[in-house]
Amino acid sequence: MQSAWILLHCGRTVLTLRTLTMFERRSLRLPITVGVIMIFLIVVMLVGWILVNTFALIEKPDAAPVYITLLSVGVVFLVMVLVGVVIYLTLSVKAISLNRRQSNFIDSVTHELKSPIASLKLYLQTLNRRQVSQEERDEFHRFMLEDIERLDHLINHLLEAGRLDRDPIDAEYENVRIDDLIQLCSQAVCLRYRLDPSTVHLDLEPAAVYAKRVDVDMILSNLIDNAVKYAGDEPQVDIILRCPNEKQVSVRILDNGRGIPVDQRRRIFGRFERLGLELERDKTGTGLGLYIVRTLVRRLRGKIRVRGRDNTPGTEFEVLLRSVPLSPADNPETGDASPDPSAEVA
């Protein structure tokens, strides 16, 4: 029963997304075509106006002031019209792209909400109407708990995206041990995806930052979750924490996935942005995770970088944050860490 419902739901979702994608491509093609045609016509008019007035000026030098005035006024007017058309076309394309991303966001959120709710409903109906063994009952309870955690994760993302525009409260800032938080976040992600803890390899130095603990937790959780989600068939994630100098903390998160094309690496931090076609996506998500990460990192006056791995498939995210001195109780004697040249802030 559950498998049949899932197949039916997936079929309806694919059909809806295919229709929506075809409509979106047509809607974006039309303003671009009209804008290009208008720009071409204005340029032709501008060149023609210059040539006509230039030839008239050569043939009738006595009326030079008139033609020079007409030429100047006409060129200024047509250039202003050209600039206006270009600006309008740019804003139109941005508005349509934003609408497309918002539409994809609504589709993904709807799917992310309906799927666990439908699953919970089916499990509860089964438990209510049928006699099941204790082993099956425990398994149903485990599946229902995973669905609830999935809903909680989604709601946290939405709430976090909604509160990003608010000014942070200084009283909520504290010294946060980032190495301890990385361990907690990696354990939580491995539990969520039912992976062995060894999937995430940690190479950490003791370090602390002055920030809201929930903000740092959100940054690390999103990056580690993405690294595990988009890793290879046998996921392997490496997290390296270093202090290149006394004022900086560098967190590098590396995965063994397919990687991100160079020309797409800036786009991934946009709101509602997800790479690829909607019909080809096999990973869940809302397009808010990296937008939240970038916003929170900037709020902490840090930087985030993304690049490909050297000589191996995968992606590397690097977060640079301002560090604070560790308290004597939290500062074990460790050797001097060698600086990482790639972590220097440009």
Are the C-beta atoms of residues 90 and 135 closer than 8 Å to each other?
no
Predicted pLDDT at 27: 62
Question: Could you say which DSSP state residue 323 is in?
Answer: B
Name the most confidently modeled range: 144-153, 212-221, 326-335: 212-221
- What residues does each domain of the chain span? 1-163, 175-343
Length in residues, the chain: 346
Residue 228: both structure tokens together = 């595990």
The DSSP code for 13 is H
* Residue 177, strand partner residues: 208
The Cα 68–Cα 47 span in angstroms is: 15
Average pLDDT over residues 43-69: 86
Where is mean pLDDT largest: 52-56, 95-99, 279-283, 325-329?
A: 52-56
**CATH for 175-343, among 3.40.50.10580, 3.30.565.10, 3.40.50.300, 3.40.50.2000?**
3.30.565.10
Q: Which residues pair with 307 in a beta bridge?
A: 316
DSSP states of 237-270: EEEEEEEEETTEEEEEEE--S----GGGTTGGGS
pLDDT value at position 312?
A: 85
Residue 189, class by beta-carbon neighbours within 10 Å (0-12 exposed, 13-18 middle, 19+ buried)?
A: buried
Please answer whether residues 306 and 263 qualify as being in contact, where contact means their C-beta atoms are separated by less than 8 angstroms. Answer: no
Q: Which residues contact 151 (CB under 8 A, 6 or more apart)?
A: 113, 116, 117
Per mean pLDDT, which of 12-21, 65-74, 269-278, 296-305 is the most reliable? 296-305
Residues 87-136 pLDDT 10s:
988 888 877 777 776 666 666 667 667 777 888 888 888 888 888 888 88
pLDDT at position 16 over 60: no
Is-contact 299 215, C-beta < 8 A? yes
Tell me the longest C-alpha to C-alpha distance in the chain.
105
Secondary structure element (H or E) that encloses residue 4, with its range: helix 2-59
pLDDT at 1: 40
Residue 122 to residues 4, 31, 108, 154, Cα–Cα distance (Å): 12, 46, 21, 21
pLDDT tens-digit map of 156-206: 766 766 666 666 666 678 899 999 999 999 998 888 888 888 899 999 999
* Contact call for residues 96 and 28 (beta carbons, < 8 A): yes
Distance of CA 210 to the CA centre of its chain: 25
pTM above 0.75, yes or no: no
User: Whose CA is closest to 73, among 100, 94, 46, 99?
Assistant: 46
Q: Summarize the confidence of residues 28-32 as an average pLDDT.
A: 76
Question: Which one, of 302, 342, 298, 307, lies nearest residue 319 by Cα?
Answer: 302
Q: Name residue 322's amino acid.
A: R
Is the Cβ–Cβ distance between 146 and 278 less than 8 Å?
A: no
Residues 210-226, mean pLDDT to the nearest whole number: 90
Over pLDDT 90: what percentage of the chain? 20
Q: Tokens 């392997």 — which residue?
A: 236
245, 238 contact by CB (below 8 A): no
Mean pLDDT of the chain: 78
Task: Give SS3 for 82.
Answer: helix
